[in-house]
Amino acid sequence: MKICIASANLGGIDAGVEMPAQDLPAGWRIEFKSFADGDLPARPLSLTPRMQSKLPKMCGFEWFKDADLIAWIDSAYTVASGGLAAWLVEALGDGEICLMPHFARRSLAEEIEFMTRHMAAGDRYLTSRYAGEPVAEQVSCYLADGGFEDQWLAAAGCFVYRNSPRMQAAMKDWLIECVKWSSQDQLSLPYVLHRHGVSPKWMDCSVWNCPHLKYTGHVALPPAEAAAALPAASAAVCDAEHRAGPAASAWHIVQVRRQGYVHAEALTEIAECVYFGLRRLGVRAFYREPPPGPARQIVFGAHLLDQTELDALPADAILYNSEQIDEHSDWLTSRYAAALKSRRVWDYSLENVRRLTALGARSVQFVPVGYAPELARIQPLGEEIDVLFYGSLNPRRQAVLEALKARGLNVAALFGVYGEERDRAIARAKVVLVVHYYPAKIFEIVRAAYLFTNEKAVVAECDSDTSVEPDLREAVCGVPYERLVEACVELVREPEKRRALGQRAHRIFARRREERILADALSLGAASTPPPALPATLQLGSGKDFRADCFNVDINPAWGPDAVLDVASPTLVGSSVRTARFGAVRLEENTFETAVALDVLEHIGDLTTAMSNVLRLLRPGGIFEILVPYDLGLGAWQDPTHVRAFNERSWLYYTDWHWYLGWTEARFDVAALELQMSALGAELQRAGRSLEEILRVPRAVDALRVRLRKRFLQESERLEARRRQPGPQRPALRTA
Q: What is the pLDDT of residues 434-460, one digit of tens each?
A: 988 766 567 888 889 999 999 999 999
Pick from 211-215, 412-416, 430-434, 513-517: least confident: 211-215
- In this predicted structure, what is the pLDDT of residue 727? 67
- In this predicted structure, what is the pLDDT of residue 253? 94
- In this predicted structure, what is the pLDDT of residue 37? 85
- In this predicted structure, what is the pLDDT of residue 583? 77
Task: State yes or no: pLDDT of 667 exceeds 90.
Answer: yes
Calpha distance 624→539 (Å, rounded): 10
> Which residue type sits at 132?
G
| Average pLDDT taken over every residue of the chain | 86
Task: State yes or no: pLDDT of 11 exceeds 60.
Answer: yes
- In this predicted structure, what is the pLDDT of residue 299? 95
Q: Which helix (H) or strand (E) holds 100?
A: strand 97-101
Write down the architecture of domain 2-215 according to CATH: Alpha-Beta Complex (3.90)
Alpha-helical runs (H) found in 71-153: 84-92, 108-120, 124-130, 135-143
Under the banding of pLDDT at 50, 70 and 90, the label for residue 505 is very high
Under the banding of pLDDT at 50, 70 and 90, the label for residue 179 is very high
Start-end ranges of CATH 3.90.550 in the chain? 2-215
Task: State yes or no: pLDDT of 208 exceeds 80.
Answer: no
Span 358-367, pLDDT tens digits: 888 878 888 9
Calpha distance 256→265 (Å, rounded): 9
Calpha distance 426→432 (Å, rounded): 7
**CB 699 within 8 Å of CB 678:** yes
Task: State yes or no: pLDDT of 219 exceeds 80.
Answer: no
Span 691-726, pLDDT tens digits: 888 888 999 999 999 999 999 998 888 889 988 888
- In this predicted structure, what is the pLDDT of residue 526? 42
pTM above 0.85, yes or no: no
**CB 445 within 8 Å of CB 321:** no
**What's the average model confidence in pLDDT over 280-298?**
85
Question: Which of 488, 304, 475, 309 is closest to 389 using CA atoms?
Answer: 488
SS3 419: helix
- In this predicted structure, what is the pLDDT of residue 248? 59
Percent of the chain whose predicted confidence (pLDDT) is above 90 = 47
**What's the average model confidence in pLDDT over 152-168?**
94
What are the backbone angles phi and psi of residue 106, rounded to the nearest 5°? -120, 5
Span 544-581, pLDDT tens digits: 788 878 999 999 887 778 899 999 999 999 888 888 77
Span 46-85, pLDDT tens digits: 888 888 999 999 999 999 999 999 999 998 888 888 999 9
Start-end ranges of CATH 3.40.50.2000 in the chain? 377-512
Calpha distance 9→32 (Å, rounded): 14
Helices vs strands, H then E, count in the chain: 24, 28
Q: What angle do CA 148, 204, 600 make, to 5 degrees?
A: 80
Top-ranked range on mean pLDDT: pick from 136-140, 257-261, 722-726: 136-140
Q: What angle do CA 507, 100, 529 make, to 5 degrees?
A: 35
SS3 215: strand
- In this predicted structure, what is the pLDDT of residue 473? 81
Q: Mark 112-151 as b/e (b = at least 16 C-beta within 10 Å).
A: bbbbbbbbbbbbbbbbbbbeebebeebbeebbeeeeeebe
- In this predicted structure, what is the pLDDT of residue 652? 95
**What's the average model confidence in pLDDT over 92-117?**
87
Q: Which residue has the higher pLDDT, 625 or 382?
A: 625
**CB 370 within 8 Å of CB 512:** yes
Strands (E) in 348-410, as ranges, are 364-366, 385-390
- In this predicted structure, what is the pLDDT of residue 214? 80
**CB 628 within 8 Å of CB 602:** yes
Calpha distance 474→462 (Å, rounded): 12
Task: State yes or no: pLDDT of 246 exceeds 60.
Answer: no
- Show Cβ contacts of residue 707 under 8 Å, excluding neighbours closer than 6 positions: 623, 624, 625, 626, 670, 671, 672, 673
Q: What angle do CA 301, 304, 307 make, to 5 degrees?
A: 120
Distances in Å between the Cα of 572 and the Cα atoms of 96, 117, 236, 497 are: 30, 37, 45, 40
Strand 250-255 to strand 701-712: parallel, antiparallel, or no bridges (unpaired)? unpaired
**What's the average model confidence in pLDDT over 641-645?**
93
- In this predicted structure, what is the pLDDT of residue 231? 33
* CATH superfamily of the domain spanning 537-723: Vaccinia Virus protein VP39 (3.40.50.150)
Write down the architecture of domain 377-512 according to CATH: 3-Layer(aba) Sandwich (3.40)
Pick from 120-124, 132-136, 318-322: least confident: 120-124
Calpha distance 226→218 (Å, rounded): 14
Percent of the chain whose predicted confidence (pLDDT) is above 70 = 90
Under the banding of pLDDT at 50, 70 and 90, the label for residue 233 is very low
Q: Which residue has the higher pLDDT, 362 or 136?
A: 136
Calpha distance 80→83 (Å, rounded): 9
Task: State yes or no: pLDDT of 234 exceeds 50.
Answer: no
Start-end ranges of CATH 3.40.50.150 in the chain? 537-723
- In this predicted structure, what is the pLDDT of residue 440? 53
